[in-house]
Structure 1
Amino acid sequence: MAIIRVRKSNLMMKKKKKSISLKEISKASFETALSSHNVTLEDDNNGCGIHSSSSWVKSLLLGRGAYGSVYLGRSKTLHTCERAIKTAEISHASSLMHEARILIRLQSPFIVRCYGEEIAREDCSTQYNLILEYCSGKTIADLIEDNNGELFESDAKVFARDVLSGLTYLHDNNIVHCDIKPDNLLLSPTDQRFRSTGYLTKIGDFGLSMEKGSLEYGNGYGHKRGTTRYAAPELMGHGFVDFGADVWAFGCTVLEMLSGVSVWGEYGDLAFDDWVNLIGHSDRMPHVPAWLSTEALDFLSRCLERDINKRWSTHELKNHPFVLL
């Protein structure tokens, strides 16, 4: 049974964002996951699982979602080392384990780096911790909100160029992210001599990602995942997941950076079936302000193309005048 999660948008037009998630981990696959981490669920005298303590001290709560919480963590041995610690009780950590399997092998400056994982005893519970790069600049969604939806087009171009580089890397490695949106694009502060915005944009949150060619992916059909507001027509209408779904969601994200309001915001907060009808089975398109530059309008039209066969790939988009230096 699919699980629908709801998140609040950080944008000017605050709407609930429904996401379609991974299935809950089965008992057999859960036991397999534990075995792969050399974990047994024996009890000590206090009824707690016998595991080593965490090598990280969690401090500031950075966020909380359907699959766990994210904390700022500091190493117990290297006190100056800070990481983002994604954590969940072990029996509810299937999504984080899936994210770890994807992230652990990815190496790109435009992808949040994974430093490993651990299972540890914390406060008489068994926690799964995913150790990630800490991006202290928050997210694109935060930046849009902090600037009252008024990002300069020149800055949006830089952010878009970074995300395209990350998506191209993912697609070249047969990974479909499946949940591109402003909340999942993290900002890492950098020297303005190298980035005019002062940030390097990194793609994060791989809990819903899929690998083409995997048993889970199959022929690409029958999947319902991602955040409804950013979901592509073929995904909402037919449950089809491919690289084009990321391109559509990326186009929605660039549109929000340029316009400052939620994509499809004029329709308010719809029930799931209404989203399916609007995005998957109608001929309607997200509202694109006419005052945007000619280059921006053309770029968005290449991303927000209902026909997946006509939608541009990330390689084609990287050569569009809108994102060229």
Structure 2
Amino acid sequence: MENIVLNNRYIIEKKISQGGFCDIFLGRDIYDNYFNNFSKVVIKVPTKELLQKEDIDAFMYAEYSILKKLSSKNIVKVFDFGIDPQKVIPYIVMEYLDGKLLNDISISDLSLKDKYIIFKELIKTLKYLYKNNIVHCDISPYNIYIFEDDLILFDFGISKDLSNNTISFNRENYIAMNKKYSSPNIIKDKVNFDFDIYSVSIIIYEFIIGSSLNKDEIENLQKKEFKSYFFKTIKFILSILIKRN
């Protein structure tokens, strides 16, 4: 899909990553050329498999509408949504993020100050989402960019706006989260904010113990149903911090 133009406006240049549902491309806005502004953008398009689903347009638009509703330095900025009439491809145009994925940064390399800053920004981001009735549903170090002292959360593909039911698509067709950081109840329970609290609790737990949890350690936490008082305490305190005014 590289080197094509969507809607006679957005040039897709090269693929920079691939998720469970979408391919992410580096691109340019042709309109910027008229103003001698050659800034980069990110263009998100569905994979070939996902394009076969009847409600793919609604799925993509749901993510766009959630991002359009949000305005925070800790949330990726969205610029546009469209459907190319010739290629019949829905797409989302977002800001290009510089920096590193949190997943690419070794926990052992983070100072206590670094961990505190990330923790503080995560709390701030979760409070903002909670205030706006948004559940991300897939918070993990793979969906967090770190740039200097800034933290930016992205990939709202399976997010849910609890205050808006006007956009309809079959959510069961679009469940592809990072299982390591996802609540064990995310499949069977109705979407709720505890999903995000669980995910961030795992990240903070890893920060405190100084290493990433492996699959067996995660499963042990889940099997004990949070009888690990250390983890349970983190989750409890985090819940209070997020939900208080």
Could you say if the C-alpha distance between residues 63 and 169 of structure 1 is closer, same or farther in structure 2, counting changes exceeding 3 Å?
A: same
Q: Is the 8 A contact 1:251 1:304 kept in 2?
A: yes
Pairing 1:176-195 to 2, within 5 Å after superposition: 176-187=135-146, 189=147
Partner of residue 315 from structure 1, selected from 204, 224, 242 = 242
Distance, in Å, in 2 between the alignment partners of 1:130 and 1:54 is 15
Structure 2 portions without partners, runs of 5+: none
Q: Could you give the per-residue CA deviations for residues 120-144 of structure 1, whole angstroms, max 9, x where no partner exists?
A: 26xx733222011111113111223
Matched, 1:75 2:29: yes
Could you say if the C-alpha distance between residues 302 and 140 of structure 1 is closer, same or farther in structure 2, counting changes exceeding 3 Å?
A: same
TM-score with structure 1 length normalisation? 0.59
Q: Is the 8 A contact 1:116 1:132 kept in 2?
A: yes
Shift of residue 55, structure 1, vs aligned partner: 1.3
2:191 partner amino acid: V
Distance, in Å, in 2 between the alignment partners of 1:68 and 1:126 is 15
Shift of residue 99, structure 1, vs aligned partner: 0.8
Distance, in Å, in 1 between the alignment partners of 2:14 and 2:119 is 29
Describe the SS at the equivalent of 2:80. strand
Pairing 1:161-310 to 2, within 5 Å after superposition: 161-187=120-146, 189=147, 198-215=148-165, 226-235=177-186, 238-259=188-209, 261-267=211-217, 279=222, 282-283=223-224, 285=226, 301-305=232-236
Q: Is the 8 A contact 1:137 1:199 kept in 2?
A: no
Could you say if the C-alpha distance between residues 180 and 111 of structure 1 is closer, same or farther in structure 2, counting changes exceeding 3 Å?
A: same
Alignment match, 1:56? 10
Distance, in Å, in 1 between the alignment partners of 2:126 and 2:88 is 34
Q: Is the 8 A contact 1:171 1:243 kept in 2?
A: yes
Describe the SS at the equivalent of 1:235. coil
Q: Percent identity?
A: 21
Q: Is the 8 A contact 1:115 1:132 kept in 2?
A: yes
The structure with more helix, counted as a fraction of residues = 2
Shift of residue 287, structure 1, vs aligned partner: 8.0
Matched, 1:130 2:92: yes
Structure 1 portions without partners, runs of 5+: 1-50, 190-197, 269-274, 289-296, 319-325
Shift of residue 216, structure 1, vs aligned partner: 8.7
1:243 partner amino acid: F
Distance, in Å, in 2 between the alignment partners of 1:317 and 1:150 is 32
Q: Could you give the per-residue CA deviations for residues 285-306 of structure 1, whole angstroms, max 9, x where no partner exists?
A: 4989xxxxxxxx6xx554335x
